Amino acid sequence: MSQYNADSISVLEGLEAVRKRPGMYIGSVGQKGLNHLIYEILDNSVDEYLAGHCKNIYVTLEADGSCTVEDDGRGIPTELHKKGVVAARVVLSTLHAGGKFDNSAYKTSGGLHGVGSSVVNALSKKMDVYISRNGNVYHDSYEKGVPKTELVKGLLPVIAKTKKTGTKINFLPDDTIFEKTAFRTDWLKSRLHETAYLNPSLYIHYKNLRDEIKEEIVYHEEDGISAYVKELNKGKETLHDPIYIKGLSDRIEVEVAIQFVDAFEENILGFCNNIFTQEGGTHIVGFKTRFTQMINTYARELGILKEKDANFTGSDTRNGMSAIVAIKHRDPIFEGQTKTKLGNNEVMGAVDIAVSEALEIYLEEHPKEAKIIVDKVILAATARQAARKAREMVQRKSPLSGGGLPGKLADCSSKDPVLSELFL
């Protein structure tokens, strides 16, 4: 019993809480929550990439139904933590370990995100961890979050020597917690692809050894979100090459990619710290507001809009627009029903500055593309005005509103153009 102190008891209580209410930590115990386990581990490796220490991440669905996530980062620290516990164990079994052992510059905390590898550990039947660091490969293992590997002089056992560094985590989801334990490969692959678009120097190696048809894919997207916006527009007629914007202000990193297509929909995706912000937020608002203003200013400068003309509306300027707005913030606030709405007000200003500076230069240096975009906006405004007129006509014709056509005009009552022609 002597090995149980106050700290280990609080760790056990933490694991207990996760296992009792898994939905609180990973959203659900369905396939969404199940896949989320992979994303939690993956995000930690991506953090190593963001910190500049990792180039490759390997995600493998193993034949036994488990999943392995390996990276070539620094390796989770294996030294003794201040309480005399191996640091890796603190990271892997303490809820929100954070603080000194948080390798993340960009918190993904809030809502369902960034709950950490300890949650995955608690919800796994078994978890094996291999850490390459200081010339050694250390091994640790857990069952339902409880450590099973015996320490050697208080440290993790060394099972091999190596020159490399990195972390490899293999986990098998607990089938007494999850409704199904087979990860969804379609969701996983699109998440990995998305991660590659958002982190352009990263190589993500996906392998499926689980299914009869084995599959191996390397996701690497050097052109980042510009390639992502092209992918969104695949199969559509694009009007120009993507416009790429990058800025940094107030310690907020801003990246935007815009490409118009010959269609009417608007498709704008927002991300904060690699998290898709389904409900939008201040980054999207900042982008939309400034984009509309820039187009109006440009159209006035060129005399396309005269003094008496009203401004183009926001939706006029986004007619046929596909865009990605990706920002990085050290202390994000996620709000809304599903905690996927970015709430930091200062982000609006940072996006505003990045977009106004870059777009001004773009419009000046790309008059041909600028004209194509403005023509598209004019078309939207004309269509909007025509639709309004048509609506008014219908309203005027409704029996209750009285009215009718003014003066001598009457609606056509014949489909024969010869009888319906009107000379003005």
Binding site for ligand 0RA (CB under 6 A): 44-45, 48, 71, 73-74, 76-77, 91, 101, 103, 167
Taking the complex as a whole, the smallest distance from the CB of residue 250 to ligand 0RA amounts, in Å, to 26
Residue 53 or 230 with smaller CB distance to ligand 0RA: 53
340 contacts 111 by C-beta, under 8 angstroms: yes
Residue count of the chain, please give it: 424
CA distance 79 to 155: 7
∠ CA 182-184-189, rounded to 5°: 135
Residue 57 or 257 with smaller CB distance to ligand 0RA: 57
CA distance 290 to 233: 23
Give strand pairing partners of 168: 70, 130
Residue 171 or 244 with smaller CB distance to ligand 0RA: 171
Residue 56 or 293 with smaller CB distance to ligand 0RA: 56
CA distance 61 to 70: 12
Q: Which residue has the tokens 């948080």?
A: 102
Q: At a CB cut-off of 8 Å and minimum separation 6, what does 122 contact?
A: 14, 15, 18, 19, 144, 145
252 contacts 329 by C-beta, under 8 angstroms: yes
CA distance 161 to 150: 19
What would the two tokens of residue 406 be?
């003014």
Taking the complex as a whole, the smallest distance from the CB of residue 104 to ligand 0RA amounts, in Å, to 8
Taking the complex as a whole, the smallest distance from the CB of residue 251 to ligand 0RA amounts, in Å, to 21
Taking the complex as a whole, the smallest distance from the CB of residue 9 to ligand 0RA amounts, in Å, to 24
Taking the complex as a whole, the smallest distance from the CB of residue 322 to ligand 0RA amounts, in Å, to 33
Phi, psi (deg, nearest 5) at residue 204: -115, 120
Residue 100 or 180 with smaller CB distance to ligand 0RA: 100
Mapping DSSP to helix (H, G, I), strand (E, B) and coil, where does residue 153 land?
coil
Residue 120 or 323 with smaller CB distance to ligand 0RA: 120
Taking the complex as a whole, the smallest distance from the CB of residue 112 to ligand 0RA amounts, in Å, to 18
Q: Which residue has the tokens 């954070």?
A: 98
Taking the complex as a whole, the smallest distance from the CB of residue 114 to ligand 0RA amounts, in Å, to 12
CA nearest to 258, candidates 375, 369, 383: 369
404 contacts 397 by C-beta, under 8 angstroms: yes
Residue 81 or 339 with smaller CB distance to ligand 0RA: 81
